[in-house]
Amino acid sequence: MASSNGISKRLIVESPNVKVEDGVLESRFTYRKNHFETRADGLHVIPHEHEYSFKTVLKPRKTGLLLVGLGGNNGSTATGSIFANQYGMTWRTKEGINKANYFGSITQSSTVHLGFDGNEQVYVPFKDIVPILSPNDLIISGWDINNANLYEAMGRARVFEPELQEKLRPFLEPIVPLPSIYYPDFIALNQEGRANNVIEGNNKQQHLEHIRNDIRSFKEKHQLECVIVLWTANTERFTDVKDGLNTTAQDLLASIQRNEEEISPSNIFAVASILEGAHYINGSPQNTLVPGIIELAQQNNVFVGGDDFKSGQTKFKSAFVDFLVSSGLKPESIVSYNHLGNNDGKNLSEARQFRSKEISKSNVVDDMVESNKILFPTAQNPDHCVVIKYVPYVADSKRAMDEYICSIFMGGKQTFVVHNTCEDSLLASPLIYDLAILTELASRVTYKVGDTYQPFHSVLSILSLLLKAPVVPPGTPVSNAFMRQFSTLSKLVTALAGFPSDSDMQIEFFTKLPK
């Protein structure tokens, strides 16, 4: 059901470009894009039109979400929050009564502007534009190198108030993560004490088969139509990317068979997922999605996506820097410091794991810098510094402090100082749902611009809005500017539904538009 300004209404698209047949929504969409030619006399803009046809299976699939790192702060919080929402749980705090919600989820709590109805602007909930899963529909399980049940993990995470933890106990205590793969060299050495739930042996081919079997068993047990494996385990160090190791699917599979040291646990999970027809999403910053994994995903027609949930400090930056550059203000210095006290912070306190995070946090401004040659004629990035410190006392309540210094008019300077308390798991968990929900939606869509319907590219770049370092199809640009990413996503779902989202020109307000 759609709703306009809080009143629930069905969204019925009256258009010759839309038809529903056998549970499939077919829509035709004219995609207008400009082509360019730089010639001696200047930049020529040639508007083109491309006729797309989309087919969207209307009924969402029965979907399982397998979390790698299920016993972590994000994993236990994301799992517990679904039960809290399913049962409409409330809990007391000193501020009053809290009720479960899905705030922070784009798919569940944002709206899309469709236009003006003559009296008021029309906004429709994102989730009402085309049928999508609710997080309540997700069947969750997963793996962890630590054997704490999810009630114990929730207590360890220190995210939820005690009353809520106790209400969730009967639901979470029975959930014990499946044993996982542990290769000490890939995560911080300070994680070793946690590893008491580990698959025996050190044969990577056997580990691959073990994880594949786990995925198959989960799918059969719940009679699932769609399985998504999502990495929310610790940040790994980057792996080498080299010919003969992992730049092709064939080399990657052979490297696993040869038990190559450089094959990481997250590589194994990604390969296992793909070979079992499950989609794979990387919520952490390491470079799991090597070329061999992308090629394997394409060969098996599954989606992969990543990297690194865009949850707090970087999410703010991806909107704020866009605002600055769009305002013609030139960021000269961006210093992003944060401290956090959860296990993620502990893992990131070691150099190689921090380096993975530093990379994903640092590249977020590149597209905005490249967008403005007036401010940045040489595309020289602002000074950009990322600092992360581990301070146990603050636990999951990360404290981010940023300073932005901009050049402004006539040699002036404008300095912004931002303090941003990011409840990390409460900001990341909604993104976990969105990544799964959008991946499941994409699995129901095919398109054609010629004769044959086909799925989207295996690298699911529509997930960019939710990720710090979006992985995109080879040869395509990375977009990090938050509102442009939101626009891309909202324009796609409205096109699937069979109508263009509003152009936001609002020309009807300063011209005489015939009724």
Ligand X SMILES: NC(=O)c1ccc[n+]([C@@H]2O[C@H](COP(=O)([O-])OP(=O)(O)OC[C@H]3O[C@@H](n4cnc5c(N)ncnc54)[C@H](O)[C@@H]3O)[C@@H](O)[C@H]2O)c1
Q: How far is the CB of 187 from ligand X (least distance, A)?
A: 5
194: contact with ligand X by CB under 6 A: yes
Is 338 a residue that touches ligand LIP (CB under 6 A)? yes
- Asked if 181 is part of the footprint of ligand X (rule: CB under 6 A), the reply reads yes
Choice from 153, 175, 211, 422 touching ligand LIP (CB under 6 A): 422
Q: Which residues contact 88 (CB under 8 A, 6 or more apart)?
A: 99, 100
In sequence order, what are the beta bridge partners of 18?
27
Please classify residue 201 by burial: count the beta carbons closer than 10 Å to its beta carbon, then call 0-12 exposed, 13-18 middle and 19+ buried. exposed
Task: Please state whether the peptide bond connecting residue 307 to the residue before it is cis, i.e. omega within 30 degrees of 0.
Answer: yes
Q: What is the rounded distance in angstroms from the CA atom of residue 4 to the CA atom of residue 368? A: 33
Q: Is 502 a catalytic residue?
A: no
Relative to beta strand 96-99, strand 304-306 is unpaired
- By CB under 6 A, residue 237 contacts ligand LIP: no
One of 4, 81, 85, 232 touching ligand X (CB under 6 A): 232
Of 29, 143, 433, 482, which one interacts with ligand X (CB under 6 A)? 143
Cα angle 452, 453, 454 (rounded to 5 degrees) comes to 115
Q: Is 308 a catalytic residue?
A: yes
Closest CA to 231 of 199, 191, 278: 278
Single residue of 81, 235, 318, 479 touching ligand X by CB under 6 A: 235
Determine the residue type at 434. Answer: D
Which element (helix H / strand E) includes 205?
helix 204-222
> Is 357 annotated as catalytic?
yes
Contact present, 306 and 330 (Cβ < 8 Å): no
Candidates 308, 358, 367, 440; binder of ligand X (CB under 6 A) is 308
Assess 72 for contact with ligand X (CB under 6 A). Answer: yes
Taking every pair of C-alpha atoms in the chain, what is the biggest distance, in angstroms?
75
Q: In the bound complex, what is the minimum distance in angstroms from residue 307's beta carbon to ligand LIP?
A: 10
Question: Are 201 and 183 in contact, with CB atoms under 8 Å apart?
Answer: no
Residue 311 binding ligand LIP, by CB under 6 A? yes
Assess 233 for contact with ligand X (CB under 6 A): yes
Which range of residues in 22-30, 96-104, 263-271, 310-318 is near ligand LIP by CB under 6 A?
A: 310-318
Burial class from Cβ neighbours inside 10 Å (0-12, 13-18, 19+) for residue 277 reads: middle
Q: Which of these is catalytic: 398, 402, 424, 502?
A: 398
Question: Rounded CA gap, 141 and 68, in Å?
Answer: 9
Q: Is 424 in the site for ligand LIP (CB under 6 A)?
A: yes
- Residue (180 or 246) nearer to ligand X, CB: 180
Q: Point out which span in 2-10, 31-39, 304-312, 455-463 binds ligand LIP (CB under 6 A).
A: 304-312
Smallest gap from residue 271 Cβ to ligand X (A): 14
Residue 318 lies near ligand X (rule: CB under 6 A): no
- If binding is defined by CB under 6 A, does position 340 make contact with ligand LIP? yes
**What is the H or E stretch that residue 474 is in?**
none
Q: Which of 1, 2, 17 is nearest to 122 (CA)?
A: 2
Tell me the closest approach of the beta carbon of residue 311 to ligand LIP, in angstroms. 4
**Catalytic residue status for 219:** no
Residues 444-503 contacting ligand X, CB under 6 A: none
Please count the residues of the chain: 515
Task: Provide the annotated active-site residues.
Answer: 308, 357, 398, 468
Q: Which residues bind ligand LIP (CB under 6 A)?
A: 310-314, 338, 340, 344, 348, 357, 361, 388, 398, 422, 424
